[in-house]
Amino acid sequence: MNATTDITAIRAAFETDLQAIATEQDLQHVRDRYLGRKQGTVATLMRSLANAPAETKPALGKSANALKRDIEQALSKKGTALRTSMKSTDSLDVTLPGRELAFGRRHPLTIIREQIETIFETMGFETLQGPQVEDDYHNFEALNMPADHPARDMQDTFYLDQSIPGTGDPALPATLLRTHTSGMQIRYMETHTPPVRIIAPGLVYRRDTPDLTHSPMFMQVEGLVVDQGITMADLKGTLVEFLQAFFDTETKVTFRPSFFPYTEPSAEVFISCVFCSGNGCSVCKTTGWLEILGCGMVHPAVFEAVGYDPELYTGWAFGIGIDRVALLKYRVEDIRLFYDNDLRLLEQFPH
Amino acid sequence: MRVLVSWLRELVEVPVSIEELAEALTLRGFEVGAVEPQPPNEDGSLDAVLDLEITTNRPDCLSVIGIAREVSTLYKTDLRPPSIFPLPDTDSTPLLTVTVDDPHLCPRYVGAVASVSIGPSPPWIARRLEASDIRPVNNVVDITNYVMLETGHPMHAFDFDKLSKPEIRVCSGNIGGTIKTIDGVERRLQPEMLTIADPEQACAVAGIMGGADSEVTETTQTVMLEAAYFNPTNIRRTGKSLGLTTDASYRFERGADVAAPPTAMNRALELLITTKAGTPQGPIVDHFPSPPTPIVVRLRHNRIGYLLGQQIDETFIAPTLNRLGFKVRLEPDSDTTAWQVQVPSFRVDVKREEDLIEEIARHHGYDRLPTTFPALTRPPSLPAPWRARDGLLRRLLTGCGFSEAITYAFIERASAQSVSEDSENIVALQNPLSEKASVLRPSLIPGLLDSLIHNRRRERQDIRLFEIGSRFRRNDGESQALAIAMTGSATSKHWSSPDRKSDFFDIVGVVTRLCEGFGVQIALEQTRVGHLVPGQTASISLLATHENRTPIGEIGQLCPEFATRRGLTGSDPVFVAELDLRPLSVDKFDRLQANPVPRYPSMTRDLSVEVDNSLPAADVRGTILASAGSTLVEVKEIDLYQGEEIATGAVSLSYRLTFRAPDRTLTDAEVQSSIDAVLRALAEIHRAKQR
């Protein structure tokens, strides 16, 4: 085979390949095949000319260059044609839906919990996590609720049939499902000196028959501040700030005396009804107010239990039900829906 | 506690409307749940019943007089308690004797005998009882209830003639003894239950309910009235074990007033006489061997401000406490202003200074306290590591299309057993709400499956759920775990391509992605787990090095029988995985150091080998990684083939190997020598043949 027939063959093969080009990708492949710098057919041809007899070299060189130019022009023309033709023949129905990327949702109680954590963390609080199975001491006794205290009725408790290992002292195995997250506050104070500024979110358990507003398991956040000179005015200021940050800045907040064994004085906090803005409706029983949380100044007996000097240190604590807040904020009508995990509910919440 | 306003007005002046009163009481800690209008009084004044919520620390306010005392403090008006009635002289021999076995359980017992003529109560008494939700019975019983409502002190009337002898003994219940209480129920007595007995039998469960045998009836001619003080803890325990709460036990277990029995008795006898229901016989017996010393609490003026954040005017303190029944004396020679405050016996809740400060705060008004923000005196801590871990888990899983579930910690025992290696390890509840929630979950899978079933039954075919939560085992207590479950299509339905159902490798992909998110590699090994389909079950280990593996969980297809038994419908298989969260942390990212971006190109080579079917692919991959040398940067499984050209019992595995050196462009020869080394190793170790 000589160079002349090579050129003819390449030209013929190129014509075939050119006809077959349908896409930009094909075009690139053909360009690489013929014009590639190292392996390309034309480059190989050019190199082979170096060995051709001297008398035919100039003519062959000319033909080869012509071939290269023709291929370049043909491909360039093809490229233009391709780009022009795509506009009409390959147009898409852009209104068809795209491919869905699966994306799940956080649970609404998680969303609310994280919002509450964020608000308190910006106020300098540390978020704690603790065990859901507790011992009697951390759930009740250290909180000024000795055995047979009538206040234990306020928190009807699930007991384990036999104790299981707890998280701390082996002499204090877990015997019950915690009725509040206060045990974590006790554990924290047992191992830290003041100042204390913590919140303790988590699931808690009370032996309530499920209904629209009660669930035997629900989520709660408790908070605790201890230092020298902490006052009830601080309690009010912090909680008003929190409630207005969480609900809205127009929310009215009122404090009423109440009773909890672990706080003295104790208060219940009400906010202006989120449904009727305080004008009175069925949710707030026409009072205009919704009970939202319980709080108070830490009882000195609690400080004594953890070895803090109640004369030197004062503090306050609060507890808020996340489910209740979620019901109010998202206007969900039944607390049990939170534990059905029905995707038709879950998928209404942000990611 | 239901309080008739006209009754209240009898004991204290109320200078405001009923609505204003309700509002003011609510703000003082006595939430008025409802104001129920009543027919107007004879003088035309409006009347109503206030339905008050009384917190457990204030048994003194389970009475009209207790509320009146609060009202008197509120409006600075005078309290008008019924005065002590001058009882007619009687001969000095009491008609009954009282013995108390354990004065700790009954520190005081007041008894009196009266001849009575049983009939209906006068209308005003009946009306007040009815307004307070107590059904009128007869004039004598009604008087005991009336006195309880007015003074807060429970009383009981016995048919005196039905006592075997006029000898009252307050003693523990006999073992095996029973008593038929006035509600007609035969109740078994226990030694720890306190009873009121005559020499022959128990006549009442002390402080809770009287016995039917000595009940006052239409034929009763003489009664023995009782006003006693019983130990709150004992009453509470007895009430709990009998499953019985009465108006009396409700008050006794919260703490009655040890000073009240004689006053209550006097009031009852007064009403007997003035309503012509009866006449006292003989003197009142008051068994009160050791009266307690009153509690005195020191109250410092500056401590009030220290706790409340607002200095309360000195002149507000003593008058407020006095009106509430405290006896207040200014300390004469103290450096700072302080008071010695004697606590009245009806205020069982007041024991220390803070309790008095609450009284001041309550009557000052919580809403008048300022709002301030506590100063930070130490820099706040950084968020705990679990916060970042759980946040990352949620981001990764929602990114994979999984939605978060929260399921109950208590499940059915049968479910727990299905997912538990050892049923001895299951933690049961002593007092579950139902059989369906009787044990603590040893695994998150059953709860997640139930949520999946809930969705499947509501027309949902494609379901992906996860839960982060605690699981409970008897041997190692509570631990944090993650469970994921998926069923239905692997990809979202789209018009451009056919559907593909999720399979085992989809959930493996999710777990792999999850662990990659934490910067750790995992290894799977075939295993057997009760609730997963054999052959489609693997254990998951974290891979620190090839040899150092930490088992963290299991993955596989859920046994269809188990799922169906829980109520799953439809035919799509369910894939689950559960991981122990303890070994996962984001700590390592704090120490992360970036590698240089590669400067030289990589080269890829594809490789197909035929190996024994039973050989795990992970072993082949391991051999490739170990034998290829340092320039191998990636191995990918690209094909698996069995069939024509492949021997029976063998499988063809294809790999794409990527080579790269950090300091040069690799040559064909270098890469080929690596490939040769790999093929040699595969042949030697696995008898693999190149294809």
What ipTM was predicted for this assembly?
0.90
Instruction: For residue B495, give how far its alpha carbon lies from the nearest alpha carbon of chain A (Å).
Output: 8
Give the pLDDT score at A89: 60
- Among B253, B374, B410, beta carbon nearest to A238: B374
B309 and B167 both lie in a single domain: no
Please list, residue by residue across B579-613, b when 16 or more beta carbons sit within 10 angstroms of its beta carbon and e when fewer do.
bbbeebbbeeeeeeeeeeeeeeeebebebebbbee
CB B304 within 8 A of CB B311: yes
Sign of CA dihedral A222, A224, A230, A234: negative
pLDDT surpassing 70 at residue B50: yes
Interchain contact B366–A (C-beta under 8 A): yes
Look at residue B167 and give its three-state secondary structure. strand
Helix (H) or strand (E) holding A116: helix A108-122
Note the maximum CA span of chain A: 119
Instruction: For residue B102, give how far its alpha carbon lies from the nearest alpha carbon of chain A (Å).
Output: 19
* Residue at which a domain ends, from B43, B75, B107: B75
B67 — pLDDT class (breaks 50, 70, 90): very high
B283 and B303 both lie in a single domain: no
pLDDT surpassing 60 at residue A87: no
pLDDT surpassing 90 at residue A150: no
Give the pLDDT score at A79: 84
* pLDDT 10s digits, B146-194: 999 999 999 999 999 999 999 999 999 877 789 999 999 999 999 999 9
A227: closest chain B residue by CA: B377
pLDDT surpassing 70 at residue B546: no
Full 3-state SS string of B238-289: HHHHHCCCCHHHHHHHHCCCCCHHHHHHHHHHHHHHHCCCEEEEEEEEEECC
At A257, list the tokens. Answer: 């005396």
Residues 422-461 of B with CB under 8 A from A: 427-433, 437, 440, 451, 454-455, 458, 460
Domain-embedded: residue B627:
yes
Q: What CATH number is given to the structural domain containing B410?
A: 3.30.930.10
- Among B369, B407, B473, beta carbon nearest to A339: B407
Q: Chain B partners of A106 at a C-beta cutoff of 8 Å?
A: 394, 398, 403-404
Residues 86-105 of A with CB under 8 A from B: 96-97, 99-105
A66 — pLDDT class (breaks 50, 70, 90): confident
pLDDT surpassing 70 at residue A260: yes
* pLDDT 10s digits, B621-678: 999 999 999 999 999 999 999 988 888 899 999 999 999 999 999 999 999 999 999 9
> CA-to-CA distance for B486 and B576, rounded, in angstroms?
6
- Taking CA atoms, A98 is separated from B153, B422, B493, B496, B497, in Å, by 76, 49, 10, 9, 12
* Residue at which a domain ends, from B561, B591, B621: B591
Give the pLDDT score at A88: 56
Q: What CATH number is given to the structural domain containing B26?
A: 3.30.56.10
Please answer yes or no on whether A126 and B380 come within 8 Å at the CB atom: yes
Domain-embedded: residue B636:
yes
Look at residue B109 and give its three-state secondary structure. strand
* pLDDT 10s digits, B604-621: 999 999 999 999 999 999
Give the pLDDT score at A86: 59
Domain-embedded: residue B378:
no
> CA-to-CA distance for A143 and B417, rounded, in angstroms?
36
Mean pLDDT of B102-129: 96
Interchain contact A162–B (C-beta under 8 A): yes
Residues 45-74 of B with CB under 8 A from A: 55-58
* pLDDT 10s digits, B257-316: 999 999 999 999 999 999 999 999 999 999 999 999 999 999 999 999 999 999 999 999
Q: Chain A partners of B73 at a C-beta cutoff of 8 Å?
A: none
Mean pLDDT of B514-520: 93
Which residues lie closer than 8 Å to A192 by C-beta, 6 or more apart? none
B404 and B272 both lie in a single domain: no
CB B145 within 8 A of CB B216: no
At A289, list the tokens. Answer: 């107010």
* pLDDT 10s digits, B426-462: 999 999 999 999 999 999 999 999 999 999 999 999 9
B193 and B123 both lie in a single domain: yes
Look at residue B490 and give its three-state secondary structure. coil
Mean pLDDT of A190-209: 96
E strands present in A106-189: 126-127, 133-134, 159-164, 174-177
Domain-embedded: residue B91:
no
Give the single-character DSSP code of B433.
S
B21 and B150 both lie in a single domain: no
At B432, list the tokens. Answer: 């579950």
Residues 244-303 of A with CB under 8 A from B: 254-259, 261, 264-267, 297, 299-300
B315 and B268 both lie in a single domain: no
Domain hosting B306: range is: 299-340+351-366
Helix (H) or strand (E) holding A306: helix A300-306
Instruction: For residue B32, give how far its alpha carbon lies from the nearest alpha carbon of chain A (Å).
Output: 11
* Residue at which a domain ends, from B530, B557, B591: B591
Query: What percent of chain B lies above the pLDDT cut of 70?
Result: 99
> Strands B532-543 and B549-558, how do they pair?
antiparallel
A1 — pLDDT class (breaks 50, 70, 90): very low
Please answer yes or no on whether B370 and A237 come within 8 Å at the CB atom: yes
B441 and B585 both lie in a single domain: yes
B70 and B103 both lie in a single domain: no
Helix (H) or strand (E) holding A294: strand A289-298
> CA-to-CA distance for B239 and B237, rounded, in angstroms?
5
B91 — pLDDT class (breaks 50, 70, 90): low
Interchain contact B689–A (C-beta under 8 A): no
Q: Which of B251-260, B547-556, B636-645 has the highest mean pLDDT?
A: B251-260
pLDDT surpassing 90 at residue B54: yes
Domain-embedded: residue B242:
yes
Domain-embedded: residue B86:
no
DSSP labels for B621-685? HHHHHHHS-TTEEEEEEEEEE-STTS-TTEEEEEEEEEE--SSSPPPHHHHHHHHHHHHHHHHHH
Q: Chain B partners of A124 at a C-beta cutoff of 8 Å?
A: 376, 380
Mean pLDDT of A108-129: 96
Give the pLDDT score at A29: 86
Torsion angle of C-alpha atoms B539, B540, B541, B543, degrees rounded to 10? 130
At B317, list the tokens. Answer: 């303190």
Domain-embedded: residue B376:
no
Q: What CATH number is given to the structural domain containing B161?
A: 3.50.40.10
B279 and B144 both lie in a single domain: yes
Nearest to B557 by CA among B522, B580, B531, B578: B531
Mean pLDDT of B353-380: 95
- Among B404, B408, B427, beta carbon nearest to A164: B427
Interchain contact B377–A (C-beta under 8 A): yes
Mean pLDDT of chain B: 94
Mean pLDDT of B323-349: 94
B442 and B568 both lie in a single domain: yes
Domain-embedded: residue B270:
yes
Q: Which of A73-77, A152-156, B244-248, B320-324 has the lowest mean pLDDT?
A: A152-156
Instruction: For residue A63, give how far its alpha carbon lies from the nearest alpha carbon of chain B (Å).
Output: 35
Give the pLDDT score at B187: 94
Please answer yes or no on whether A300 and B354 come within 8 Å at the CB atom: yes
Write the single-letter amino acid at B471: R
CB B240 within 8 A of CB B138: no
Supply angle C-alpha A230, A231, A236, rounded to 5.
120
A51 — pLDDT class (breaks 50, 70, 90): confident
Q: Chain A partners of B57 at a C-beta cutoff of 8 Å?
A: 151, 259, 261
Helix (H) or strand (E) holding B449: helix B445-456
Helix (H) or strand (E) holding A267: strand A263-272
Mean pLDDT of chain A: 90
Q: What CATH number is given to the structural domain containing B623?
A: 3.30.70.380
Interchain contact B250–A (C-beta under 8 A): no
Helix (H) or strand (E) holding B562: helix B560-565
Interchain contact B513–A (C-beta under 8 A): no
| Residue of A136 and A148 predicted with greater confidence | A136
Residue to mutate among A93, A127, A158, with most B CBs inside 10 A, is: A158
Instruction: For residue A301, give how far its alpha carbon lies from the nearest alpha carbon of chain B (Å).
Output: 10
The number of helices, as runs of H, and strands, as runs of E, in chain B is 18, 31
Give the single-character DSSP code of A351.
-
Helix (H) or strand (E) holding A41: helix A41-49
B250 and B148 both lie in a single domain: yes
Give the pLDDT score at A10: 87
Residues 293-312 of B with CB under 8 A from A: 306-310
Residues 201-240 of A with CB under 8 A from B: 203, 205, 207, 209-210, 216-217, 219, 225, 227, 229-234, 236-238, 240
Number of domains making up chain B: 5
pLDDT surpassing 80 at residue A90: no
Interchain contact A195–B (C-beta under 8 A): yes
Instruction: For residue A284, give how far its alpha carbon lies from the nearest alpha carbon of chain B (Å).
Output: 11
Give the pLDDT score at A80: 83
pLDDT surpassing 70 at residue A85: no
* pLDDT 10s digits, B378-397: 998 888 889 999 999 999 99
Mean pLDDT of B360-388: 93
Mean pLDDT of A297-307: 97
- Among A233, A240, A347, beta carbon nearest to B309: A233
CB B632 within 8 A of CB B624: yes
> CA-to-CA distance for A328 and A347, rounded, in angstroms?
18
B581 and B621 both lie in a single domain: no
Nearest to B381 by CA among A284, A120, A175: A120
